[in-house]
A and B are shown apart, each in its own frame.
With several copies, the nearest count.
Chain A
Amino acid sequence: MKNKIVTAAEAVAGIKDGDTIMVSGFLGTGSPEILLDALVEKGVKHLTLIANDGGLRAEFTGTTDKGVAKLITAGMVDHIIASHIGMNPDIGNGALAGTMKYTLYPQGTLAEKIRAAGAGLGGVLTPTGVGTIVAEGKETLTIEGKEYLLELPLHADFALCRADYCDTFGNFAMLKATKNFNHVMAMAADTVLLASEQVFEIGEKDPDFYQVAGVYIDYIVKGEQPWQI
């Protein structure tokens, strides 16, 4: 079967100016750093970025930028779609300067919008955000007397995901709190890149060792590293 194992540079080669990408991670934890590094190296512009937050700046980590902060620091992102941007001041400052735009969704809504795209749903009804500015411009439906917002799917050209383990088919597993958006994002993009700390041969592990099906994964990159605290 098709070989999915590539270098980080090969994996991100198809990402081009103006693309929409989704990147997993929660303040950097669970983000595929080697893919982000390769993308910064490649240097595309005008990205729309879907991510939980803006990652962490080097000033905060005491070492280097973590997660999607790398892309923002490099000036590659025109528009971020996220649930929280307060930890990366570059976003707020970029918005004030007019160099960057942001769209905010409640975190659960963001997760469901991404999942809806991956699951072929036309949208979901959520009670979250009813009666707030999040509801502006959105259709509301009343079901059995309770009001819901219709939230539409959120799809990307590329998804950049992180695993602790995978096999060469792309079946993958994430440990502890690194899971966050890795599963739903792997479902919701045309092309899905997976960076993994370890890559096993097919059949080397029991199938239940893996949490997510490899059918979602297009390219696998070995060598993702633990976060050096």
Chain B
Amino acid sequence: MADIKARIAARAAKEFKDGFVANLGIGLPTLVANYLPEDVHIVIHSENGFTGLGSVANKGEEDYRVINAGGGWVTYMPFANFFGSEESFSIIRGGHLDATVLGAMQVDEEGNLANWIVPGKMVAGMGGAMDLVVGAKKVIIAMQHTQKGAPKILKTCTLPLTAQKCVDMIITEMCVMEFKPEGLTLTELHPDFTVEEVKAVTEADFIVADDLKAMEED
């Protein structure tokens, strides 16, 4: 399981170029920062109001003015800048983020995304998720391929949407899929799996890329 998360995060990290400005969702997406090559330095945006998010603050070294969007005490980089929510979401919505990495409950063939609400369950609220997936230049969904075996990549999302046609790429422990003009396309396959195995746990129809590559662990 830890292994699977590491695999997904490591692959997502390859999408980042030096200087990218990115927002990483809570949980697995946050791990992406740990897998960046040494020559790739990114600027992490924290939607509660800064660019230049660092890491979790050490116990006893917390700054009471510096939290991340999950409410945890964090550090900031020397190039950090802090701003209000109106500015934070101008950065997000205005296309100033090169990428965002988020988890998902469901993604469908159209690139629709559902990751914020389950009818009948207690509502948490969308927070910044809807703005992020509409605004970021590249929306990368990093998630386990299935929910305990049940497909999460569907023909049509059944849960309420976070946004329409917003997803650019899906990275799971099995494969990488990209939304291309011709449709959802399997572009990389992890050596542990076959295309048939991916199809068996993917409800959405997808194209297999002519130049299908191996999803490399590192």
Contact = CB atoms under 8 A, between A and B. Distances in A.
A and B touch in the complex (CB under 8 A): yes
Interface of A: 1-2, 26-30, 52-53, 56, 60, 82-87, 89, 92, 95, 102, 104, 106-112, 114-115, 117-121, 126-134, 164, 167, 169, 171, 175-184, 187-188, 202-203, 207-208, 210, 212-216, 226-229
Contact of B124 (A86, A110, A216): A86
A94 B67 CA distance: 27
Nearest to B71: A27
Contact of A169 (B79, B86, B94): B79
Interface string B119-130: 000111111111
Chain B interface category by residue count: 35 or more
Contacts of A92: 122-123
Given A56-B71, A111-B86, A207-B76, A213 B128 contact: no
Interface string B49-83: 11110000000001111110101010010111111
Given A108-B128, A187-B90, A227-B64, 8 more contacts: A26-B48, A30-B65, A104-B125, A110-B85, A128-B163, A132-B130, A169-B79, A176-B82
Nearest to A93: B122
Contact of B131 (A26, A52, A106, A181): A106
B73 A180 contact: no
A184 B85 contact: yes
Interface string B29-64: 000000000000101011111111000000000111
A201 to B, nearest CB: 9
Interface of B: 18-19, 21, 41, 43, 45-52, 62-67, 69, 71, 73, 76, 78-96, 112, 117, 122-131, 134-135, 160-164
Nearest to B97: A215
Contacts, number: 215
B78 A203 contact: yes
B20 to A, nearest CB: 10
Contacts of A187: 90, 94, 96
A179 B129 CA distance: 20
B90 A134 contact: no
A98 to B, nearest CB: 15
A108 B93 contact: yes
A108 B124 contact: no
B86 A83 contact: no
Given A84-B124, A118-B90, A167 B79 contact: yes
B126 A134 contact: yes
Contact of A29 (B64, B90, B134): B64
B41 A1 contact: yes
A203 to B, nearest CB: 3
Contact of B65 (A83, A110, A177, A213): A177
- Closest 10 A/B residue pairs (Cβ): A86-B124, A108-B89, A203-B78, A120-B93, A119-B90, A131-B164, A84-B125, A108-B131, A27-B71, A227-B64
B71 A216 contact: no
A45 B126 CA distance: 27
